[in-house]
Structure 1
Amino acid sequence: MLLRIDGHDLPGMPGIRVAVQVKDKPKELLDPQRGDAGAVAWELPVEPFTTGDGLRTLRGRHVQTGIGGRFVYLSWGRTGEDGSGFEMFRRSKLMLSGIPEDVLAAGVEAGVLRARVRLTDAEGQPVSARLLPPEVEWSAG
């Protein structure tokens, strides 16, 4: 199935990018996108599964495991004028524990789970936080 992350309200900063980090590889990024874009999106292949504790969640190449559960890193970095290079300066954790059980079940059935997330914080900077509802809107399909 796919996890689609739709980012909106970006900070409008040229010269920075936001990308999804590959599990345990901070320098390996999926599709860095401009920090001054109107909107951004990524589609990640994920697999639903049940943990040994009976928790229904997701795993995959971009899903991290750590304190607080499973999550996807959204990494912010500075780049050269041509978009080359990526010097990370902050990250956010899109927490999978925030997915309502009924939405996860519907997403598994539909084959697509969506996360809609605002990417600018209250000070107008790139968001750097644990992202949970209401900052994230989860939906299926």
Structure 2
Amino acid sequence: MQLRIEAHTLPGRACGPGPDFPGVSGIAVAVQRKDRPAELLDPQPGDASTATWTFPCSFTPEGELRGPYVQNRLGGRFVYLSWSGRQPQEEAPRMFRRAKLMLADVPPAVLDEARRRGALVGRLGLTDAKGNPVCGRVVPPAIEWSAADPTERAEP
């Protein structure tokens, strides 16, 4: 089975300073590999019009999703979108924020249909109310989960 993340409304390549935060430039976003924060799947620039990541996953006998990009910590299974950028005076980008796409909040009927059809799709905007990169726990309605066939193309 596939898990596909389809993102829109990205925040741009810079995040301004705030209290105790110097700001960052050169922003990119990617899916983080399980237990390997430095291993990122297909980084996309923060000013892309859309971003899509597709990766394999499978179900445990208990019906939970597993895969190389599916995290499992207290609070349930999830996928991390990791934001990286350079702070002033830094040469190399580093992670400064993450969004946690909670798989426990996929409606059971959608998960069953995704298992039958072959793909689970999460669609979300990546800019928060302040114009910055989305971070923290992302649950419906901020993310819309649906089932699809693996060969279906991402929606614009």
TM-based fold match above 0.5: yes
Which residue in the other structure is 1:32 paired with?
43
Q: Could you tell me how far apart the structure 2 residues matched to 1:65 and 1:108 are?
A: 19
Q: What are structure 2's unaligned runs of at least 5 residues?
A: 15-25, 149-156
Which residue in the other structure is 1:8 paired with?
8
Range moving further from structure 2, 7-16 or 114-123: 7-16
Aligned CA distance change for structure 1 residues 105 and 65 (closer, same or farther; 3 Å): same
Which residue in the other structure is 1:98 paired with?
105
1:12 maps to amino acid: G
Which residue in the other structure is 1:67 paired with?
74
**1:118 CA drift (Å):** 1.1
Deviations 1:9-55 (A, max 9, x none): 1102251100000000000000000100000000010002244xxxx
1:45 to 38, 56, 69: 56
Say how many residue pairs are matched. Answer: 134
> What is the percent sequence identity of the aligned residues?
53
Larger radius of gyration: 2
1:116 to 123, 135, 140: 123
After the TM superposition, which parts of structure 1 deviate over 4 Å for at least 4 consecutive aligned residues?
none
Q: Could you tell me how far apart the structure 1 residues matched to 2:33 and 2:105 are?
A: 20
Deviations 1:67-117 (A, max 9, x none): 2100011000016xxxx9541001010000111001001101110110001
- The CA RMSD over aligned residues, in Å, is 1.6
Using structure 1 for the length normalisation, give the TM-score: 0.90
Q: Could you tell me how far apart the structure 1 residues matched to 2:93 and 2:102 are?
A: 24
